[in-house]
C-alpha cells in the first residue's frame, strides 16, 4: 500500500463566519454565538468572533440588543421571549465592519411532547456483568400542529456524592471553619454536588409521507459505568418544530460533520439564511431561527430500574475503601496542610485522642467531579 504525506500547511482554509442563533418563546436570556472556522492543522476547534454588534429586529418595531458575555458569546441583557406571528431579523456588524443580515424568521408552533422515558439495555462485560446502557426516548403522538420537521436539545443533571466528605475548610495556619451541610456555611459544603451539561448535538427528524407521530425518537444514551445514575439523574428534553429550510440545513450539517455540533469541523460551503449585506458571494455558515419550545423534565434513580439486570453497588462517585485517613495533632494542622494541600483536605475531628483527620481530596470534595455544590431550583 502506498501512502502519500499531506502537508496541512498547504491546504487552503476559507475564513468563514459561523453563527449559532436560535431565539425561543421562553422568557429567558437569549444567546447568539459567533466564531470563525480555523485551519485544518489548528489545535483549536473554533475561533471566537469578538467585539461585534448584534441585535434582532421585529416587524412590531422591537429591537433587542445582545451584549458580549464572553469571547464570541453574546447575550440579551434582560430575559426576552419571542412572540408568535412576528417576523424577526438578525443583524450583525463585526469588529472589522462587515455587516450581516438574516432572512426574516417567524415562529413555527410546536406540538407538545407526550412522554419522555428511559430503558436499560443490558450489555455485560468481563468487568461488569450487570453493566449496560441507559437509553432515553421521546414520543409526540398528539401532533396537534401537524409538524413535519423536529429538532431536540437535552440537558442532563445528576447528583454527585463523595464517600468521606470534608466537613471543615482549612483557612490557613491552624485555623478552619465548618462547612457541613445544614451548617451556617452550607454554601461551602462539598459532600453533595450537581453536575449539569447542555447537550446541543444535532438531533433532527423529518416525518415521512403519511406519518403523524414521533415514536421512540432516541434522545440520549450513556453507560451505567458512568457517574450519572449512581443516585439521582434528571433529563430536560426540549422539542422544537422546524421549517423545511431549517431542517435541510441542520441535516446537511449533521451529514457533513458527523460530529453533532455546528463548530466541530469545517464543513465547506453549506449555505444558511445569513448573508453579507454588501457581498452576496461571501459564505456564512449558520441559520437564524425563531422557535417555540415544548419541554418535559424527568427524574430517575437506580430503583427505577430494579426490574432489569442493572444494579448500582456504590452510590458514591468514587470508591475510597483503600484510602486510609491521616490523623494529625491539632497544633500541626497548618504545617501538614502547607505541605499537602494539593492532595488532602480536613474531614473531621476526633476527641480521644484529640486530632484532626485528613482525607484525600478525591474522596472528600465533590466539586472535583461536578460543576456546582448548589442544589438546582428544580431538584
Domain ranges of the chain: 11-109+242-291, 115-159+195-240+299-305, 168-193+318-368
* DSSP helix/strand/coil, 345: strand
The pLDDT tens digits for 99-136 are 999 999 999 999 999 999 999 999 988 888 889 999 99
CA–CA gap between residue 305 and residue 166 (Å, rounded): 31
Residue 370 exposure: Cα atoms within 13 Å on the Cβ side: 30
Q: Is the pLDDT assigned to residue 157 strictly greater than 80?
A: yes
pTM over 0.85: yes
Mark 262-301 as b/e (b = at least 16 C-beta within 10 Å). bbbebbeebebbbbbeeeeeebbbbbbbbbbbbbeeeebe
CA–CA gap between residue 333 and residue 337 (Å, rounded): 6
Virtual CA dihedral for 336, 341, 342, 344, nearest 10 degrees? 70
Distance of CA 209 to the CA centre of its chain: 33
Report yes or no: 169 and 373 within 8 Å, Cβ to Cβ.
no
- Burial class (CB within 10 angstroms; exposed 0-12, middle 13-18, buried 19+) of 355: middle
Closest CA to 240 of 20, 79, 23: 23
Nine-digit cell string for 224: 451505567
Nine-digit cell string for 348: 473531621
Closest CA to 367 of 294, 309, 317: 317
Nine-digit cell string for 311: 444494579
CA–CA gap between residue 172 and residue 23 (Å, rounded): 48
Positive or negative: CA dihedral 259, 261, 265, 267: positive
Nine-digit cell string for 116: 419522555
The pLDDT tens digits for 240-256 are 999 999 999 999 988 87
Which residue stretches of the chain are H helix?
244-257, 333-340, 361-364
Q: Is the pLDDT assigned to residue 65 strictly greater than 60?
A: yes
The pLDDT tens digits for 164-197 are 999 999 999 999 999 999 999 999 999 999 999 9
Write out the CATH class of domain 115-159+195-240+299-305: mainly beta
The pLDDT tens digits for 326-345 are 999 999 999 999 999 999 99
Nearest 5°: phi and psi at 272? -100, -145
Report yes or no: 349 and 329 within 8 Å, Cβ to Cβ.
no
Q: Is the pLDDT assigned to residue 42 strictly greater than 60?
A: no
How confident is the model at residue 104, as a pLDDT?
97
State how beta strands 274-276 and 105-106 pair: unpaired
Q: Is the pLDDT assigned to residue 6 strictly greater than 70?
A: no
Amino acid at each position: 500500500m502506498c501512502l502519500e504525506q499531506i502537508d496541512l500547511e498547504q491546504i487552503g482554509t476559507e475564513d468563514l463566519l459561523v453563527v449559532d442563533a436560535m431565539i425561543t418563546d421562553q422568557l429567558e436570556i437569549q444567546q447568539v454565538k459567533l466564531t470563525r472556522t480555523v485551519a485544518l492543522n489548528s489545535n483549536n476547534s473554533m475561533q471566537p468572533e469578538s467585539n461585534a454588534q448584534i441585535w434582532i429586529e421585529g416587524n412590531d418595531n422591537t429591537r433587542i440588543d445582545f451584549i458580549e458575555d464572553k469571547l464570541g458569546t453574546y447575550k440579551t441583557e434582560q430575559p426576552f421571549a419571542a412572540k408568535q406571528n412576528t417576523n424577526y431579523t438578525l443583524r450583525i456588524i463585526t469588529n472589522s465592519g462587515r455587516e450581516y443580515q438574516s432572512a426574516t424568521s417567524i415562529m413555527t408552533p410546536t406540538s407538545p411532547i407526550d412522554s419522555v422515558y428511559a430503558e436499560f439495555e443490558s450489555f455485560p462485560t468481563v468487568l461488569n456483568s450487570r453493566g449496560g446502557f441507559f437509553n432515553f426516548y421521546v414520543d409526540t403522538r398528539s401532533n396537534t400542529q401537524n409538524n413535519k420537521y423536529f429538532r431536540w436539545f437535552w440537558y442532563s443533571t445528576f447528583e454527585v456524592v463523595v464517600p468521606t466528605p470534608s466537613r471543615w475548610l482549612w483557612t490557613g495556619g491552624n485555623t478552619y471553619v465548618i462547612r457541613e451541610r445544614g451548617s451556617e456555611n452550607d454554601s461551602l459544603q462539598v459532600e453533595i454536588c450537581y453536575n449539569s451539561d447542555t447537550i446541543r448535538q444535532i438531533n433532527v427528524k423529518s416525518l415521512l409521507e403519511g406519518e403523524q407521530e414521533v415514536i421512540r425518537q432516541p434522545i440520549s444514551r450513556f453507560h451505567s459505568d458512568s457517574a450519572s445514575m449512581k443516585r439521582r439523574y434528571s433529563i430536560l428534553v426540549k422539542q422544537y418544530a422546524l421549517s423545511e429550510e431549517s431542517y435541510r440545513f441542520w441535516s446537511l450539517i449533521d451529514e457533513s460533520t458527523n460530529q453533532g455540533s455546528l463548530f466541530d469541523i469545517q464543513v465547506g460551503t453549506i449555505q444558511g439564511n445569513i448573508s453579507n449585506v454588501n457581498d452576496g458571494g461571501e459564505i456564512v455558515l449558520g441559520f437564524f431561527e425563531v422557535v417555540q419550545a415544548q419541554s418535559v423534565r424527568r427524574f430517575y434513580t437506580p430503583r427505577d430500574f430494579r426490574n432489569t439486570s442493572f444494579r448500582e453497588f456504590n452510590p458514591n462517585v468514587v470508591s475510597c475503601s483503600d484510602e486510609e485517613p491521616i490523623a494529625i495533632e491539632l497544633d500541626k494542622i497548618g504545617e501538614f496542610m502547607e505541605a499537602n494541600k494539593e492532595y488532602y483536605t480536613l474531614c473531621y475531628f476526633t476527641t480521644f485522642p484529640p486530632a484532626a483527620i485528613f482525607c484525600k481530596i478525591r474522596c472528600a470534595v465533590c466539586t472535583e467531579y461536578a460543576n456546582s455544590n448548589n442544589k438546582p431550583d428544580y431538584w
